[in-house]
A and B are shown apart, each in its own frame.
Chain A
Amino acid sequence: MTTWKIFKFPIFLGLVYIILIFWLPNTAEKSISVAIDYAKEMFFIMPAVFVLMGLMEVWLPKDKIQKWLGTSSGMKGIFISFLMGTLPTGPLYVAFPLTASLLKKGASINNMVIFLGSWAALKIPQLMVEIKFLGGSFVLLRFVLTFAVIVIIGVLMELFMKKDSDKIWLGKT
Chain B
Amino acid sequence: MATIITIYSILTIGLLLSFWKSRQKTLKSFLIAGKAFLKMAPSLLTILGIVGLILGILTPETISKLIGAEAGYSATVIAAILGAITLIPSLVAFPLAGSLLRSGATIMTISAFITTLIMVGVVTAPMEIKSLGKKFTLLRNGLSFLGALIIAAIMGVIL
Q: Which residues does A use to contact B, with CB under 8 Å? A: 6-7, 9-10, 13-14, 16-17, 20, 27-28, 30-32, 34-36, 38-39, 42, 44-55, 57-59, 87-94, 96-97, 99-100, 103, 109, 113, 116-117, 120-121, 125-126, 129-130, 132-134, 137-138, 141-142, 145-146, 149-150, 152-153, 156-157, 160-161, 164, 167-169, 172-173
Give residues of chain B (68-98) contacting chain A, Cβ–Cβ below 8 Å: 87, 90-91, 94-95, 97-98
Contact of A45 among B7, B118, B124 (CB under 8 A): B7
Contacts of B148 in A (CB 8 A): 149
Contacts of A49 in B (CB 8 A): 7
30 CB contacts below 8 A, A to B, read: A7-B42, A9-B126, A10-B45, A13-B53, A34-B52, A44-B4, A48-B8, A49-B7, A50-B33, A50-B40, A52-B11, A58-B29, A59-B29, A88-B3, A89-B7, A93-B121, A96-B124, A96-B127, A96-B132, A129-B90, A129-B91, A134-B101, A134-B110, A141-B159, A142-B115, A142-B151, A142-B155, A149-B147, A161-B135, A173-B39
Q: How far is it, in angstroms, between the C-alpha of A97 and the C-alpha of B57 when the chains are bound?
A: 29
Number of residues of chain B lying within 8 A (CB) of chain A: 80
Q: Which residues does B use to contact A, with CB under 8 Å? A: 2-4, 6-8, 10-11, 14-15, 18, 25-26, 28-37, 39-40, 42-53, 55-57, 59, 87, 90-91, 94-95, 97-98, 101, 107, 110-111, 114-115, 118-119, 121, 124, 126-128, 130-136, 139-140, 143-144, 147-148, 150-151, 154-155, 158-159
Contact of B37 among A36, A46, A103, A117 (CB under 8 A): A46
Asked if A51 meets B139 with Cβ closer than 8 Å, knowing A134-B94, A153-B144, A169-B133, the reply is: no
Q: Provide the main secondary structure of the chain A interface.
A: helix
Contact of A88 among B6, B36, B140, B158 (CB under 8 A): B6
Which B residue sits closest to A29, measured CB to CB?
A: B56
Best-surrounded residue of A48, A94, A113 (most CB of chain B within 10 A): A48
